[in-house]
Amino acid sequence: MSVRIISFIISLSLVISLSGCKKEAASDTEVQAQPPVAVQSAMPTAEKQQYIIDIKPLEKLKIDYVWWACVIGGVVIVLLLILGGIIYYRRRKKIQEVVIKLPPHEVALTELNKLRAMKCADAKAIKKLYFELSETFRHYLEGRYGFPATEWTSEEITYHINRTRDLNFELKEQSKSFLSNTDLVKFAEYLPQEAQIQEELNRAISFVEATKEVIVEGSQADAL
């Protein structure tokens, strides 16, 4: 009796195990199943092929020789103008340098002769002449003796002249008298007569002639 019971239990266990395996196999089959994939060709259909246009061959570029000739000609003209401007500027600069290198007495005498030709019709013209006369004299002192006469007052110039050994007593007194007389007209209401104006001009010219630097021809050639 006990043997039959044991056999029944074993048989029942085998049936249960087999049924469980079938269910797992069925579930695995369902999991692995995939939906169908639609495949479509990428090649154009016969209807679409009629709208496809063939590629044209490369065209040769046409060169406009007249246009390029005008462009090159314009560039050449601009370059020539620039070159001409540079040459003109350099020549003008050289001419200015030559003028600047003139001796101080030549510059002063040229300006004094111009002032001598001026006509003084009224008080304004007289003051203008004396201002220019004073500036010409100061520029000469500055260029000839190397001190800033154009920036100094008449008192400072007189003090310097009294201490210098480049001028004798007569020339020192002449220069001090000239500065005093020109300041009187420039900064006061004093108006000189025509004869006095010419006297001051002659005094300035005489001072420049007496103090001008004498350049030996040999040393001048070496300087050039």
Total domains in the fold of the chain? 2
> Is the pLDDT reported for residue 168 higher than 90?
yes
74 and 161 both lie in a single domain = no
SS3 readout for the chain: CHHHHHHHHHHHHHHHHHHHHHHHHHHHHHHHCCCCCCCCCCCCCHHHHCCCCCCCCCCCCCCCHHHHHHHHHHHHHHHHHHHHHHHHHHHHHHHHHHHHCCCHHHHHHHHHHHHHCCCCCCHHHHHHHHHHHHHHHHHHHHHHHCCCCCCCCHHHHHHHHHHCCCCCHHHHHHHHHHHHHHHHHHHCCCCCCHHHHHHHHHHHHHHHHHHCCCCCHHHHHHHC
pLDDT band (50, 70, 90) for residue 136: very high
77 in a structural domain? yes
**End residue of a domain, out of 96, 115, 147:** 96
> Is the pLDDT reported for residue 182 higher than 90?
yes
92 and 191 both lie in a single domain = no
Q: What is the mean pLDDT of the chain?
A: 78
9 in a structural domain? no
15 in a structural domain? no
Question: Between residues 53 and 118, which one has the greater pLDDT?
Answer: 118
183 in a structural domain? yes
42 in a structural domain? no
126 and 180 both lie in a single domain = yes
**End residue of a domain, out of 96, 117, 149:** 96
135 and 171 both lie in a single domain = yes
110 and 150 both lie in a single domain = yes
160 and 193 both lie in a single domain = yes
194 and 166 both lie in a single domain = yes
pLDDT of 63: 73
pTM: 0.53
111 and 206 both lie in a single domain = yes
CATH of the domain at 186: 1.20.120
pLDDT of 53: 61
169 and 205 both lie in a single domain = yes
149 and 89 both lie in a single domain = no
- Domain range spanning residue 190? 104-212
Question: Between residues 30 and 138, which one has the greater pLDDT?
Answer: 138
126 and 92 both lie in a single domain = no
92 and 137 both lie in a single domain = no
pLDDT band (50, 70, 90) for residue 26: very low
